[in-house]
Amino acid sequence: VGQVIKCKAAVAWEPAKPLSIEEIEVAPPKKGEVRVKIFATAVCHTDMYSLSGKDPEGVRWPIILGHEGSGVVESIGEGVTLVQPGDHVIPLYIPECRECKFCKSGKTNLCSLVRSTQGRGVMPDETTRFTVKGQQAYHYMGCSTFSQYTVALEISLAKINPDAPLDKVCLLGCGITTGYGAATKTADLQSGVTVAVFGLGAVGLSVIQGAVARKASKIIVIDKNPKKFEYAKKLAPNAELTCLNPDDHDKPIQQVIVELTDGGVDASFECIGNVEVMRAALESCHKGWGQSIIIGVAGAGEEICTRPFQLVTGRVWKGSAFGGVKGRTELPNLVQDYLSKKLEVDSYVTHTFGINDINKAFEVMHSGDWYVMQLIW
């Protein structure tokens, strides 16, 4: 407490190069900050995307990536009241200050309090808490979970039930919460609706869980990798589930879906990040009321298009970040849902590595046959 901690971290020195495991120094938390011992972290596309150097947010190097983790509070900085040493936490890439215009609006989970500094990889005082080889290293998405110890703001931590296994609930830090929230909050699916889910990674699978929880009458899942359909079936054993591989059809996939559903689905979800698929997802929706939720993150500079008549005739395009979930208020409830077996998490993990093998995890990510890659510290 109050001392610099030396520990291991996976450091990204420059774009498009493997990460290197280094001994780093993590400074004590300052005002409003908390130092967290990270227990487990998943590896997600967004980390890989930022490592590629294409991130429009323009990350700075060296940087400590990782945003889907879990851990235990080691020490707290001046004025911190929201957590105490020993508390179990999930770091939040969207904080919840409860004081900014966004938090107070009651309309969004996009807290703006530290948006600018978080995007630039620094703490609110414009400095960082990480030092590697005598050089300052930058924070990532307010989380930096690829380090044994990290520093985050108290408003960027969801305090969770300590009974929850940290190696599992780290997944609630991104993918599962995002898909489940997009279905249950952003789309607010109602009983009996028809749903189409494009892309069956951790996000799309969790949209399925949300659709099942809301008692959707029909769920159509679309993926180019047919291996992905097996897991979708496991998550929706009692639902009317239709699996579509666009490569098996001569017609555009939206036409196939419209024909299968007497005019289109009530709600569709794009969980890939492909702007062509975003169009197909919108055009799979029913005239008059169908809503399409964009969750996938497209490449920098890409644009979506459709004929405006699609919207004139009542289809709605919406987006969703972190499933619209307010991290401090709502994430602890999802952890409870997991503990009471209402939300499946365990079986998402298809690969587990030690932190020293982090680059293997990035290699597996290119293979396509995985859901969640996890690193245990």
Chain residues in the site for ligand DAO (CB under 6 A): 46, 67, 93-94, 110, 115, 174, 297, 321
- Based on the shown chain and the rule CB under 6 A, indicate whether residue 318 belongs to the binding site for ligand NAD: no
Choice from 5, 153, 241, 272 touching ligand NAD (CB under 6 A):
272
Q: Retrieve residue 212's tokens.
A: 């099942």
Strands 68-76 and 88-91 come out as antiparallel
- In the complex, least distance from residue 289 CB atom to ligand DAO, rounded to whole angstroms: 26
Q: Report the DSSP beta bridge partners of residue 7.
A: 24
| Residue 18 amino acid letter | P
Neighbours of 217 (CB within 10 A): 13
Answer with the entry of ligand DAO, ligand NAD, Zn ion, none that 168 interacts with (C-beta below 5 to 8 A by kind).
Answer: none
- In the complex, least distance from residue 110 CB atom to Zn ion, rounded to whole angstroms: 8
Task: Decide whether 34 or 174 has the Cβ nearer to ligand NAD.
Answer: 174
Answer with the entry of ligand DAO, ligand NAD, Zn ion, none that 94 interacts with (C-beta below 5 to 8 A by kind).
Answer: ligand DAO
Using CB under 6 A as the binding criterion, the count of chain residues that bind ligand NAD stands at 31
Choice from 149, 322, 338, 362 touching ligand NAD (CB under 6 A):
322
Site string for ligand NAD, 205-244 (x = CB under 6 A): -----------------xxxx--x----------------
CB-based contact 145:41 (threshold 8 Å): yes
Task: Decide whether 37 or 67 has the Cβ nearer to ligand DAO.
Answer: 67
Choice from 203, 220, 236, 256 touching ligand NAD (CB under 6 A):
203
In the complex, the residues that contact Zn ion under the rule CB under 5 A are 97, 100, 103, 111, 113
Secondary structure (3-state) at 8: strand
Taking CB under 6 A as the criterion, which residues in 57-86 touch ligand NAD?
none
Answer with the entry of ligand DAO, ligand NAD, Zn ion, none that 115 interacts with (C-beta below 5 to 8 A by kind).
Answer: ligand DAO
Task: Decide whether 288 or 368 has the Cβ nearer to ligand NAD.
Answer: 368
With a CB cutoff of 8 Å and minimum separation 6, the contacts of 174 are 42, 44, 46, 67, 68, 93, 202, 322
Task: Decide whether 218 or 328 has the Cβ nearer to Zn ion.
Answer: 328
DSSP 238: T
Residue nearest to ligand DAO (CB): 321
CB-based contact 239:220 (threshold 8 Å): no
- Based on the shown chain and the rule CB under 6 A, indicate whether residue 329 belongs to the binding site for ligand NAD: no
- In the complex, least distance from residue 212 CB atom to ligand NAD, rounded to whole angstroms: 17
CB-based contact 130:9 (threshold 8 Å): yes
- Based on the shown chain and the rule CB under 6 A, indicate whether residue 120 belongs to the binding site for ligand NAD: no
DSSP string of 109-168? S---TTHHHHHTT--TTS--SEEETTEEEB--TTT--SBSEEEEEGGGEEEE-TTS-HHH
Give the range of 35-43, 84-92, 289-297, 345-353 binding ligand NAD by CB under 6 A: 289-297
With a CB cutoff of 8 Å and minimum separation 6, the contacts of 229 are 200, 221, 223, 243
CB-based contact 221:204 (threshold 8 Å): yes
Answer with the entry of ligand DAO, Zn ion, ligand NAD, none that 36 interacts with (C-beta below 5 to 8 A by kind).
Answer: none
What are the Cα distances from residue 252, in Å, to 206, 247, 286, 305? 25, 10, 16, 15
